[in-house]
Amino acid sequence: MSEPAKAISELFTSRFGDRVTPGKSLGGILTVEVGVDSWLEVCRALRDEEDFRFEQLTDLCGVDYLSYGQSEWDTSDASTEGFGRGVEGFGPGRFNWAERPEAKDVKQRFGVVVHLLSFKYNRRVRLRCFAPDEGMLIVPSLVEIWSSANWYEREAFDLFGIVFEGHPDLRRIMTDYGFTGHPFRKDFPLIGNVAVRYDSQKKRVVYEPVEIEPRVGVPRVLRNDSRYNTDDFDLAADAEAEAIAAKDKAAGEQEN
Amino acid sequence: MAEIRNYTMNFGPQHPAAHGVLRLILELDGETVVRADPHVGLLHRATEKLAESKPYNQNIGYLDRLDYMSMMCNEHAYVRAIEELLGIEPPARAQWIRTMFDEITRFSNHLLWIASAGIDLGAMTVFIYAFREREMVMDMYEAVSGARMHAGYYRPGGVYRDLPDTMPPYKESRWTKGKDLKRRNEWRGGSLLDFIEAFAIDVPGKIDEYETLLTNNRIWKQRNVGIGVLSPEKAMQMGCSGVMLRGSGVEWDLRKKQPYAMYDQVEFDIPVGVGGDCYDRYLVRVEEMRQSAKIILQCVDWLKKNPGHVMLKNFKVIPPTREEMKDDMEALIHHFKLFTEGYCVPEGETYAAVEAPKGEFGCYLVSDGANKPFRAHFRAPGFAHLSGINELSRGHMLADVVAIIGTLDLVFGEVDR
């Protein structure tokens, strides 16, 4: 995991050209965006070619980018009455089924994120492919390349509604039998839609609309202030530096 | 002649060998498995979605409840992901404590595995033996965090508090008294580290006891040798990690290959199997327990010699101490803000993986700069392992399915999340 991200990034661009867009790298894992049209081709090459040899698909998950970067509480701007006290907006967990936010014309809303692992080179890479939003979200299935993709794709289908074309057995996996909707989408309420209980009169399990209210108290806040520079506030380092300075000073005085 | 048809059988979700809530639809030809179709999700609690609605620190508790047999390892993956996004590094003592507790957790997980796998295949005594030691591991958890299982001990920037100076002894009661009480309190005179040290020195002898019950046991071998054979290529292809991979002879351990915490400073070996069957995986797990004890001793040694901070002094992430709060208004406000709103994590995405006892437990975290994760995804080893059960059990007898479920080391908290 020691090789520089730049080298891997160049490896990708030199092999795949403009079919891939290498992005940022953190913790030694490079993010590469791949178009949906070349998804299968790139993945197959990543598994088979000597330069890559990603033998394992470690993880695959869906991501819903609706409301990315939106905060519920404006902290950057104060009005004449000071900062807003009420929380506006319906962030995650703060709306019910009727109030759910509408998603209109969101480009690149659903992404499929794959983590690959190469045992040979001890290297990981993250691939992302956005599902084209044309009625159905269709992404080619990776099952024939890595069989571990099977359940992960079922999970992403169940929770996000991404359809994996060519998957041999695309059933729901996590949710209840007969469930409707895709619960991990950002416009699906945290409290859910239906509740299930046993009805002692009917002597069977019944489904009813949920009764509970959304109860997430903490607003979602984005703060673009100095907190990002955590290095400056590393007091332990400061204290250490001070101690060293004091020691040096004492040593200097002794010499004098 | 009578028509012979395949028989479909429902295994679980309330079968004692289903390790929780596995519902397995088995298509049988006589007693031979033709197809196994697991139905999971009965324990699905939408942890990943819940995480999106809570500040970072408040999610740590959910992580304990994923793989509820290896609590602190799950926390470790999540906490490491946050630390990577924040760009902070916990102090060395915290890293050593994490290493030690990861190994204690691994030991406890394998203990429970050996107990439940034993009982699945009819070996009752090993279950009782293993729970005897597990009780002490739970006491270590309790001493350090106050909770026997769901510790919530790892925090971004270190661990919640330093190791306690005393190990609470048992008090006399109707059930524990006299010689029994004395035996139980034998190691509890000193600090937690003394207790852990005494335990780790003693435990290889206990592992020998399990081995006398199982390793050369005729029934145990008949039920495990040659069952659920996994070739190395197949294991990689199926997304196996941890013991499932090492049992097939792939020398791959994140603690060695992509070291985190203090694993690059401790000495240990990675046991590897040869045949890739259930018996090899059993041997690998037993040897891992011995290696864990070895690592724990090295950690104890370091921790005894090096006192120091266990939490980073970075007050953007870490709350002020109780003492400061008592006489400083600013500290009180600071504490309030950190425990209500939390801290904002810089925009970015990361994947942090740890070698959990069951395999690679990973945390994929996406932040858009807010105080809550934008998306948190937990890569549970059991999920990938269970997805391969159809291939593993095809052609085996019905009774072998129990051995195979046992060898996968499943916990439905993490499979269903």
Closest residue in A to B51 (Cα) is A92
| Cα gap A138→A156, rounded to integer Å | 12
- Tell me how close the Cα of B264 comes to any Cα of chain A, in angstroms: 14
Of A68, A122, A124, the CB nearest to B374: A68
Of A92, A174, A235, the CB nearest to B41: A174
Q: In this predicted structure, what is the pLDDT of residue A17?
A: 82
Of B50, B252, B309, the CB nearest to A119: B252
Q: In this predicted structure, what is the pLDDT of residue A29?
A: 86
A56–B316 C-beta distance less than 8 A: no
Q: Which residue has the higher pLDDT, A240 or A164?
A: A164
B416–A115 C-beta distance less than 8 A: no
B239–A57 C-beta distance less than 8 A: yes
Q: Which residues of B touch A236 (CB under 8 A)?
A: 91, 309, 312-314
Give the torsion sign (CA, A81, B345, B51, A89).
positive
Of B55, B348, B368, the CB nearest to A26: B348
Residue B3 has pLDDT above 50, yes or no: yes
B86–A93 C-beta distance less than 8 A: no
Give the torsion sign (CA, B16, B17, B20, B26).
negative
Cβ neighbours around A105 below 10 Å, total: 6
- Model confidence at B1, pLDDT cuts 50, 70, 90, reads low
Q: In this predicted structure, what is the pLDDT of residue B365?
A: 92
| Cα gap B58→B90, rounded to integer Å | 19
Coil/strand/helix, residue B319: coil
| Cα gap A206→A191, rounded to integer Å | 18
| Cα gap A171→A72, rounded to integer Å | 36
DSSP H or E run through A170? none
Q: For B53-79, how does the pLDDT look when each residue is reduced to its tens digit (9 = 90+)?
A: 899 999 999 999 988 888 999 999 999
Among B224, B201, B353, residue whose Cα is nearest residue B284: B224
- Tell me how close the Cα of B288 comes to any Cα of chain A, in angstroms: 21
Least confident of A132-136, A222-226, B106-110, B126-130: A222-226
- Model confidence at B284, pLDDT cuts 50, 70, 90, reads very high
DSSP H or E run through A115? strand A110-118
| Cα gap B384→B213, rounded to integer Å | 31
User: Could you tell me the CA-to-CA distances from B7 to A187, B15, B19 in Å, in that order?
Assistant: 43, 18, 23
Of B236, B312, B314, the CB nearest to A55: B236
User: Could you tell me the CA-to-CA distances from B121 to B114, B405, B406 in Å, in that order?
Assistant: 11, 11, 9
Q: For A69-94, how does the pLDDT look when each residue is reduced to its tens digit (9 = 90+)?
A: 888 777 666 666 666 666 666 778 78
DSSP conformational letter for B409: T
User: Could you tell me the CA-to-CA distances from B291 to A218, B118, B200, B241, B269 in Å, in that order?
Assistant: 44, 21, 10, 18, 7
Q: In this predicted structure, what is the pLDDT of residue A49?
A: 87
Closest residue in A to B316 (Cα) is A227
Residue A238 has pLDDT above 70, yes or no: no
A122–B258 C-beta distance less than 8 A: yes
- Tell me how close the Cα of A130 comes to any Cα of chain B, in angstroms: 16
| Cα gap B116→B108, rounded to integer Å | 12
In degrees, rounded to 5, the angle at the alpha carbon of residue A115 between the alpha carbons of residues A112 and A118 is: 145
A220–B252 C-beta distance less than 8 A: no
Of A56, A190, A231, the CB nearest to B49: A190
B350–A63 C-beta distance less than 8 A: no
Among A190, A185, A222, residue whose Cα is nearest residue A69: A222
- Tell me how close the Cα of A117 comes to any Cα of chain B, in angstroms: 10
| Cα gap B342→B324, rounded to integer Å | 19
Cβ neighbours around B165 below 10 Å, total: 10
A64–B239 C-beta distance less than 8 A: no
Strand partners, B366: B349, B375
Residue A201 has pLDDT above 90, yes or no: yes
User: Could you tell me the CA-to-CA distances from A105 to A90, A135, B59, B118 in Å, in that order?
Assistant: 18, 12, 32, 56
Q: In this predicted structure, what is the pLDDT of residue B2?
A: 67
pTM of the model: 0.88
- Tell me how close the Cα of B283 comes to any Cα of chain A, in angstroms: 23
Q: In this predicted structure, what is the pLDDT of residue B324?
A: 87
- What single string gives the DSSP state of each residue in A49-76? STTT---EEEEEEEEE-TTTT--SS--S
- Tell me how close the Cα of B313 comes to any Cα of chain A, in angstroms: 5
Q: How many residues does chain B have?
A: 417
- Model confidence at B395, pLDDT cuts 50, 70, 90, reads confident
Of A93, A146, A236, the CB nearest to B312: A236
- Tell me how close the Cα of B46 comes to any Cα of chain A, in angstroms: 8
Residue B297 has pLDDT above 90, yes or no: yes
On average, the pLDDT of chain B sits at: 89
Q: Which residues of B touch A61 (CB under 8 A)?
A: 364, 377
Q: Which residues of A touch B351 (CB under 8 A)?
A: 27, 29, 59, 115, 124, 126
B184 is written with which tokens?
Answer: 């139980």
| Cα gap B257→B263, rounded to integer Å | 10
| Cα gap B314→B347, rounded to integer Å | 19
Average pLDDT (B8-28) is 81
Of A61, A94, A173, the CB nearest to B377: A61
Least confident of A11-20, B209-218, B395-404: A11-20
Task: Report the DSSP pairing between strands A123-130 and A29-34.
Answer: parallel
Q: How many CB pairs under 8 A join A and B?
A: 157
B53–A146 C-beta distance less than 8 A: no
Query: Are the C-beta atoms of B409 and B243 separated by less than 8 Å?
Result: yes
B342 contacts: CB under 8 Å, gap ≥ 6: A218, B55, B56, B57, B58, B371, B372
Provide the H-helix boundaries in B215-321: 218-224, 232-237, 243-246, 254-257, 278-305
Average pLDDT (A82-110) is 74
| Cα gap B387→A152, rounded to integer Å | 9
